[in-house]
Structure 1
Amino acid sequence: MSSQFDYKGEVSLSSVRSSYGCEISRGLCGSPNRGSASPSSAASGDQPDPSYVFFDALLPSNIMSILNEMRLAAECTDTVLCVGSREFSCHRALLAAASPYFRAMFTGDLRESYESRISLHDLCPRMVGHLIEFAYKSRVLITEDNAEELYITANFLQFEQVAKSCEEFLQRNISAGNCLSLARFAETYRCLPLQRDAERFVLEHFEEVSQGSEFLDLRFDQLVAYIRHDELAVQSEKVVYDAVLRWIRSNSEERALFRPELLRSIRLPLIEEDILSEMLSGRDEDYLSKSRHCADVLKEAKCCQWLMKRGYRVLGPGTSPRSPGRRSEVIVLVGGHQKGRDGEYIYSDEVYCMDAHEAVRSSYPRWYPLARMPHHMKRKYSVAALGSDIFVTGGYDTVCEQSSRLVWRYSFSRNRWKPVASLLDARHSHGSASLNGRFYVVGGKTSFQNTRLDSVECYNPFADEWKPLAPLPIAVSVPSVVGYHGRLYVIGGATQDECACSHIQCYDPITDVWSLLPDLEFSRKTLRVATAHDGRIFVLGGRKPREVSEISVETGDECPHEPSNEQRTFPGVTVAGDRLWVFGGKIGEESRNCAEYYDLRTNTWTTLVGFLPKALYMHGCVTIEDVA
C-alpha cells in the first residue's frame, strides 16, 4: 500500500494544501500535517538524532484567527476604541504592530497609553471597523463606495498599505464621470499620483468631461488651468469655447466677472474665422463683445488671426497649437557671472540652450550657443519667459553705476535680440514672470540709497507698453515670482530691514488687488522657485541651502522632498519634463559647471559633473517650448 508521504526521504508539502515549510524530515516523529523537523547535528550510522527543531508555519495565521475570535468575544482585550456611536474591543499590542499611529499612542507619554477607553474623533466608524478587521485578518474589501473614505481613514491612522491600495484602486477606476471629483479629492488629501492621473484623464477626454454636471462645479482657477494647458486634447478650440460658455451660463450672475480672463485662456486666434467674427459682431447670445474688456480680447484675437492668415508668424500662448502628448522643451541659460582666465569673475553675454528631452536620453546632451545677449555689462537683472520668448529686464549697469530701465526680448524662433519698451522704474535685484499672455516685473532695488521697491509693472507684448499696477504689500528685493492658476505669486525675497520675507504675496490681475497668504517662515532671502507642468511649485533653499519643499499657495502647506546633493548659492533652477534642474551656482567660493536634477517620479537626485559649457552663477535659467 503506497503512502502519500515517504518518511525516508525529504517531505514535499507542495502536493498538499498546506503552507508548512520543511527543511529535512529524516527522523520526523510528529505528524507531517503539523510541521517539519531538522536535526541539530549530523546523524551518523544508526544512531538516533539527539534533537530536532519543530517549525509550525501555520501558527501565525492560527494565532491571528484566534485573536480575532477573542476580539469579537471581548476576551483578553485591553482597550476599547470609541468611534462615534460604535465601540471596538481590541488588543493594544496588535494595533501597535499594525499601525505606527497606534504604536506612538500606546508606547509614548500620551494619556491614551494608560487609558482603557480611547475616543477617535472625526472618523467614520465603519471605516475604522474595516481597518481593525484588516489588522486581525490581513484583508479588506475596497469598493467604489468606500475607497475614498477608507483612504482618508487609513491615511490618518497610518495603515499605509491599505491607503496605497485604495489609491491604486481609485487610479484604476478613473472615468469621465468621476475624474473631476477624484482630482479635487486628491488635491485635498495630497494624494499626488491620483491627482496627476485624474487631471491627465481630464486633459485627454476634455470634450466628454465638459458635458458632465461635475464640470460646472469647477472653481475658476481649476477651469483656467485646464483650458490653458498645451496638452488639452480637443479637435477644435470651439470645443473649449462651448465648454467655457456652459460653465458661465450655469451661474452667470457670479461668473460674468471671469469672462475676459476665460476668453484670454482660449486660443481664440485658432478658432474658426466665422465664429470669431460672430463673437466680435455682438450677435453672440452671451453678448461677450458688449463688455469692453471682452471686446478688447476679441479684437486682439482677430488681429492675430488676420496676421496669421497672411503668413505672419505670431508667437504667444494664444497662437500656439495644442500638442497633446507631445512637448518639445528647451532649457536656456542666459548670461550670468563666470570665471575669467586671470581668476576674476566677469559678466557673461553668452546664451546656451539644451533639448530637455535629449537630456533624458543622454547623460551629457549637447549645449548649443545662441545669439549673445546685448548690453551685457550689468548684473542683478531678471530673466523670465513669455511663451517661446525670453525677457531680460533691468539690472545694475556696472558702467554707469546705476539701475537700468532697459528691456531686451529674445525670439527663440529667430535667434535674435531686440529692445522693447523700457521699464517705468529703473530697478535691479527684482523678480519677473509671465501670466495670461502678459509679463510682470516686481519689486527690486533702485540706485538711490539701495531702497527696496514695492512697485509692480505689467508689459503688454501686443501694444509694446508697460503700465503700473497696485504696489506690493511688502517691498522686497530678489523675490521669486511665478504665475499660477490666473494669479501672480511673489515668494520670499529680502525686506527693507534685510530680513527674509516669509509671506507669499498674491496678485489678482482681474481686481488689481494684492493679498498676503499664510506665513511659511522662510529664513533665506535668495531662495529659488520652479513650477512643474502639473502646477506643483517647488522651493529650493527656503530655510537651508539644500532644502527642497513643495508648497501649496492656496493653503500654505509644505511637503518636504529629498534635499539636493550640493549646497549651492545663486544657481539656475527650472523644471523640464519630470525633472527639477539645478544648474551651476557657487559651491563655497568657486563657481561650478556641474548640474543636478531631481526626478519627480522617483524622488531621487542625480549629479552631473562638468555638465555646463562654462562655470556660471547668477545666470538666467528658463524652460521654453520649441515652436520651430
Structure 2
Amino acid sequence: MSISSRDRKSTSEDCDSRQESPTMSSQEAGSGHSLSSLATQEECFRSSRHAEMSLGRMEAYLTKNQLTDVTLVAGSRRIPAHRLVLSAASGYFAAMFTSDLREASQSEVMLRDVDGDALWTLVHYCYTGSIELHEETVETLLATACLFQLTEVVDACCAFLTKQLHPSNCIGIRSFADFQGCMDLLASAHSYTTEHFMEVIRNQEFLLLAADEVAKLLASDDLNVPNEEFIFHALVSWIKHDEGNRKKDVSRLLSLVRLPLLSPAFLADFIETSPLFREDRACQELVMEALKYHLLPERRPMLQSPRTRPRKSTVGALYAVGGMDAHKGSISIEKYDLRTNCWSTVAKMSGRRLQFGVAVLDDRLYVVGGRDGLKTLNSVECYDMKSQAWTSLPPMSTHRHGLGVGVLEGPLYAVGGHDGWSYLNTVERWDPQARQWSYVAPMSMQRSTVGVAVLNGKLYAVGGRDGSACLCTVECYDPHTNRWSPCASMSRRRGGVGVGVINGYLYALGGHDAPASNPSASRFDCVERYDPKTDAWTKVACMGVGRDGVGVSLLGDRLFAVGGYDGQQYLRLVEAYDAQSNDWHQVAPLNTGRAGACVVVVKNSSTC
C-alpha cells in the first residue's frame, strides 16, 4: 500500500518538538490508514552517558598510547595525546592545531618553560574533567592552566588558594595573582592582607617586600589598624631589617605615613629625634608639616593633603542611637564601619526614648532626657561599650525632650528642649568628675529640636522652634565667660535641623519650616556653612533628599547625614559630604529607617 505525500512527516525535525499521535483504536488499526498513522510515531533517543563514555574510551587510548597523533615535550616529560581532545578542551591547543602554524602538522611539539608534571596533569584533565589540587603544586598548576587557557582549572586553583590565605602567605599569593592576571584572587588576597595587616607585619613576607610593594601597602586607605602609630612602627621594622640598603627609600615611604594624624608627643619622641629620620631633610620637612598641622588648627582647611586624610579603620565607628521609626520608636543602636561600608545592630537601649540627646564621654554613650511616648524625661543613662551594660546616672534638674547636647572641654551640656509644658532656654552642665548637674547661663531664646555643635571651644545652638515658629537664629556659648552671644542668622528657618563641624566650619543640614498645624510640609535638602572668622553663612551643595530629624556627625574627613524624615517615611538613607569637592554621595543605608536618631562617633584607642 502506498503512502500519500500529505501523510509523510519530515524526519529532520527536532525530536523534542514532536507531538505524539493519538492512540489508535483497534478498528483504526485494522483500517487502510494504519500504516500512515504508525509513520507519525517517532522517537528520539539520547544517551546521558555518551560524552562520558566516549571520553573514557579516549582516556583508555591515551593510557595505551593508541591512536595518538601528537607528542608534547616539556622538560624530560614526553606526553602522547590526541589533537582533537586537546583542541576541544583548550583554546591554546585549538589555536595551535587548527592554524597554519608548523606545530599543526608536527608529530612532536616542544613546549618551553612548561612544567612537565603540570602539563601531564592538565592533559589528563582534558580527558577526564577532574583534577586534584595540592598546596605544594597549585601555583605551578595555575600558571600552566593560564597558559593553556583552561579557565575552569584556573578558577578552581584560585578558589583553592583563597582558602589557603594566611598572614604568613597572603602577600606572596597577592603578588602571584597580580603576575598571573587573576583579578578575583588578587582582590581576595589584597582584602585579606589589609584586613589582617596587624598580623601580616609580624611575618617574614612583609619584611622581605621590595620598597615599591611596601609603598603600595602604606598608601592604602583600607589597612585595618587602630591608629596611624602602627603604620609608622611597621615601616621602622621594615627599614631596620635591611637598613643599609633601605635608607634611600626612607623619605618616600615616610611620606605615606599620615604624620599629621599622630600626636605631637609621638612625633617628638619617635620621629623628630630618631637617627633614621633626623639626617634626612625631606623627612624633617614632613615632621614640620605635621607639627604645623597641630600648632595652627585654624589653618587646617588650607593644610589638607593625602597625609591629613585618615585611614578608614582609624576614624572610629559611627553609632546611630534610637529615633522614631515606623513602629513609633526604635530602641536599636546601629554601628557603621567605614572600612567595610556596613551597618550592624550592636545593642539596644534600655527603654523607649524619643527626641533625646546622646554624647560620648570616655568611650561611653550618655543618653540624656527625651520622652517615652507619655511623659518627658530627665533621666540619664550610660552605655559602656566594653561591658555592654547600661547604668543610671543622676538625673537633670529639668525634664527635657527636643534638647541638644554637646561635650565642651570635658563637661557635657544639655541645651534647651521642651519640658512637656513649655519651650526652654535653660542649659544644664554635667561635670563627670563631680558627677552632678548644674545650671549655666540660659540662651537668649527658647529652642526645641535645636541643633547643637562644638566649634573652636564654643557651644553653638542652631535653629529649632520657640513655640510660635521655626528659627533661623544662632547663638554660641563661651564656657570661660558663661555667656551666650548672638551669631549671624541662617538664610532660612530650620526646625529639626542637623548640625555638624568639619575643617573649622559649622554646617546646618535639612530641617523644615512647617507650622505645628501643618506637619506634612516639605523638608529641606539645602545645606549652609558658617564661618566663625567672618560670622557669615554660605550655601553649599544640597543633600540628595530633603529631610528633617537627620543625624549628623563627622567621621574621618567627611560629614555623614544619617536617616531623617522626608514628610512621607522614615529614611534608611545615609549620605556623606566631602568638603574638598563640595559634593554628597550615598553610602550603605541603615538597617532600620529612622528620624531623630542621635549620631555620634566613638574613637579608637590612642594607645599603641
Output the TM-score relative to the length of structure 1. Answer: 0.45
Indicate the structure (1 or 2) with the bigger Cα radius of gyration.
Answer: 2
Question: What's the TM-score once normalised by structure 2's chain length?
Answer: 0.46
Structure with more contact order per residue of length (Cα contacts < 8 Å, sep ≥ 6): 2
